[in-house]
Structure 1
């Protein structure tokens, strides 16, 4: 009986530590991030087989990059130009890109991350919100013009392609 009395408090202590450790290490998504993503169709995202889009920049420098992204397989097709202006067409699987592969060296993967992030910002805010700091700052005055809108900030931790981006 004495052994049972000693094991019970120790057992509860171990159980309590495990519960606290598991709940404190489990990151939760921001409610505002989920609200934004759902407004843009998050609930239907699982049905997407492929997305084709073109990223255009027009101004002093003009850039056009076309992508076909298959989210379920991770396959990405790129059509654009290299740093010398020569046409490039390449297909790769993002999870298989290594630091010494031409896809990484030519920064094609980096371009995909950039273009994909901006094309699908509402989803990335949700997908990344367990690692990024996403905050609902409430209604704020617009920086230009009249009116107000809800301000949501997203700050990324150090690491990755663009550490500390806000």
Structure 2
């Protein structure tokens, strides 16, 4: 075999290997990527309110305000979610406690914190509470205040445990998954115990928070001031 024929043989083998290698790479690229997991409605609502940024939150400060007719009530909180430390600040007292180890005084104070925190970040809280509640989605429902057609998520808490066992909440939201109105039904009764708006959304520390809630005639207003979020 001549030197030229040997070279031609090796060249042909090299070209064939190159084409096979390129073909393998192209086939590898052509393989479809696995489909992304479809988010649940609880996840969609939570993520619309900044849940992806929650793990960055080191400290959350807020003042919970209620105006009912001419009466005003307020209390402030400093919450460090990574350590579960809470500082409650009222007109008469300041109490710092850890939610992992509460005495009777802290447990009673923590009931107020749970209430105020739920109003503040309920769209994220319902994702945390998914193992302690049942959920039902209606794709089309009439919102109680605006009368607009929205989606409705009903969350019913279990009868045992917690500060308000057996209570139910109806969340009304649009295609953006931001809550627009809600209904609280004590003990899962049929009649509403309270109905308010969710409005005046602001982004604070990567979280989207509705700062104002009011009933239909405006005689009841629940709102948040002094919102501060420290992130890492």
Deviations 1:103-149 (A, max 9, x none): 23xx2111011111111101111110122112211111222344211
Aligned twin of 1:71 = 81
Displacement, 1:102?
2.1
The CA distance in 1 between the partners of 2:105 and 2:143, in whole Å, is: 43
Within the candidate set 34, 38, 42, 2:43 is matched to 34
Counterpart among 31, 55, 59 of residue 50 in structure 1: 59
Alpha-carbon offset, residue 151 of structure 1: 0.6
Separation in structure 2 between the aligned mates of residue 147 and residue 102 of structure 1, nearest angstrom: 44
TM superposition shift of 1:76: 0.4
Please state which structure has a larger fraction of its residues in helix.
1
Picking from 93, 97, 100, the partner of 1:92 is: 97
Classify 1:75/1:147 alpha carbon distance in 2 versus 1 (closer, same or farther; 3 Å). same
Higher strand share: 2
Q: Higher relative contact order by CA 8 Å / sep ≥ 6: 1 or 2?
A: 2
Count of residues paired in the alignment: 128
- 131-140 or 148-157, which moves further after superposition? 131-140
5+ residue gaps, structure 1: 1-29, 82-86
Aligned residues: CA RMSD: 1.5
CA distance in 2, matches of 1:58, 1:146: 24
Q: Distance in 2 between matches of 1:120 and 1:141?
A: 23
User: When the two structures are superposed, what TM-score results if normalisation uses the length of structure 2?
Assistant: 0.52
Runs (5+) with no aligned partner, structure 2: 1-38, 169-232
TM (normalized to structure 1)?
A: 0.72
